[in-house]
Homo-oligomer: A and B are copies of this chain.
Amino acid sequence: MAQKNIPYKIYLEESEMPKVWYNLRADMKEQHAPMLNPATGEPMQLEQLYPIFCEELAAQELDTTTRYIDIPEEIQNFYKMYRPSPLVRAYCLEKALGTPAKIYYKFEGTNTSGSHKLNSAAAQIYYAKKQGITSVTTETGAGQWGTALAMACVFFGMDLQVFMVKSSSEQKPYRKAVMETYGANVTPSPSETTEVGKKILAENPGTGGSLGCAISEAIEVAVHTDNCRYVLGSVLDHVLLHQSIIGLETKIALDKYEIYPDVVIGCAGGGSNLGGLIGPYMKDRLDGKNAPYFIAVEPASCPSLTRGRYAYDFGDTGNITPLLKMYTLGAGFMPSPNHAGGLRFHGMSPVLSKLYHDGYIDEARSVEQSKVFDAATMFARTEGTLPAPESAHAIWAAIEEAKKCKETGEEKTILFGLTGTGYFDLSAYQSYNAGTMSDYIPTDEDLQKGFDSLPKIPGVQ
């Protein structure tokens, strides 16, 4: 099919921007198994979620039937500050690869948080504020979620305490300065400020921490503070709902030029970006129409989809969250501290886990970080933008697919999510440039330790 002259960047007018989020679950033939109360093994009821999440978010978390949910005007206005994000044709990367493939990426890194995380941060803080909540707590790994939340909190007028994975806070001291500029309080995790933090430190004195630990600390503070709630930047169904803005904008932009992707690629840690990006194209698959080939890419050092179990597990190391049915390495799994960047979560979005389990996501791949930085450097040098290590997982797979097209001569259209920029990941780039970066692939024994931490639930698993 002859295509129109495609610009380097496809923009949307404000009038073209989505006014609703898309709830993928409304089109799923089968829902993922329900969130369980770990004390009883019974499905969590709406009211049981209220001590953790504010009411609107709890309702969104359990809503499996409303296909489109209105984006409140205040959130639409917040989005206008940094959205629509650019959809870019990677002409220069294509040329460097000598591929007949057409590569597009949706670039979520033009805001100061440096990633897509701001999409859900704005929504979560808006709803919390509306309910009269006065403070929130959260965890952050690479720091993108914490920064995003700090930006949303200062905008809507909300206090924020961030527990930052200790190894990340040491690798990225300036992320702390950014969050503080936006008014947040930042504590390296595990810390001595919570009971669960003290317990983890006692058991693993030298630990660099993990997202799971930081989540436990943040939830403990939220539950014990008046008018405070915990907010999470990935994994949960309501986060995927907010992130659907990524895929909706992408589809509107590509539709304008009558482009339909053959392959859609996203990096996957907790799954928020991948879930958001694939939304409207996955709808085609769920509706039985022609649809792209979907690829999830994860680090070889934290391979939940490719080597994990599909089981009920806690979302946190301290085992205080509800139980989620997902691909998981076990909440007790600790990723190697040599792993740069995010994508360190032991589990995976229950929605994506279900889609992968049932064959709707076609493939999951894992990749070692040295290859990730090869791809990141090639991308930076051709397309100009220095990518986040997380995003470079998707770049790596896009390059692999484009090379296959070079071999076969196929002119496939490849779409991937460039979730963010690497401006706060430069110690990792330094070590890559210096040739001192090492790869880590957990052995089966390493993984078994994580699996041993999976909860035993009578009558369920």
User: How many Å lie between the Cα of A362 and that of B114 in the bound state?
Assistant: 38
Q: Is A81 interfacial (CB-CB < 8 Å)? A: yes
* Assembly CA distance A71 to B423 (angstroms): 30
Interface centre among A112, A383, A430 (most CB of B within 10 A): A112
The docked-state distance in angstroms from the alpha carbon of A385 to that of B11 is 20
Q: B8, B181, B385: which contacts A386 (Cβ < 8 A)? A: B181
Whether B384 and A151, one on each chain, are in contact in the complex, defined by CB atoms closer than 8 angstroms, is yes
Residues of B within 8 A of A183 (CB): 381
**Which residues of A (335-386) have their CB < 8 Å from a CB of B?**
377, 380-386
Alpha-carbon separation in the docked complex, A30 to B386 (Å): 44
* A177 at interface by CB-CB < 8 Å: yes
Number of A residues, CB within 8 Å of B: 40
Q: Which of A425-458 contact B (CB under 8 A)?
A: 426-427, 429-430, 433
Residue of B nearest to A382 (CB): B155
**How far does the alpha carbon of A82 sit from the alpha carbon of B92 in the complex, in Å?**
12
Write out, one digit per residue, whether chain A residues 161-178 have a CB within 8 A of any chain B CB (1) or not (0). Answer: 000000000000010011
* A81 vs B385: C-alpha distance when bound (angstroms): 9
B380 pairs with A112, CB closer than 8 A: yes
Interface residue? A14 (CB, 8 A): yes
Instruction: Say yes or no: A7-B178 contact (C-beta < 8 A), given A384-B155, A421-B112, A423-B424.
Output: no
Q: Please measure, in the bound complex, the distance between the C-alpha atom of A110 and the C-alpha atom of B423, giving whole angstroms.
A: 12
Is A255 part of the contact surface with B, judged by Cβ < 8 Å?
no
Tell me if A13 is interfacial: C-beta within 8 Å of chain B: yes
Inter-chain CA distance A421–B385, complex, in Å, is 14
For residue A8, which residues in chain B have a CB less than 8 angstroms away from its CB? 14, 80-81
A212 to B377, CA, bound (A): 32
What would 20 more interface pairs be, CB under 8 Å, given A174-B423, A178-B429, A180-B433?
A7-B14, A8-B80, A8-B81, A81-B383, A92-B155, A112-B380, A112-B386, A174-B426, A174-B427, A177-B426, A177-B427, A177-B430, A178-B423, A181-B380, A181-B381, A181-B429, A182-B380, A182-B381, A183-B381, A423-B423
A residues at B contact (CB < 8 Å): 7-9, 11, 13-14, 80-82, 92, 110-112, 114, 151, 154-155, 174, 177-178, 180-183, 377, 380-386, 421, 423-424, 426-427, 429-430, 433
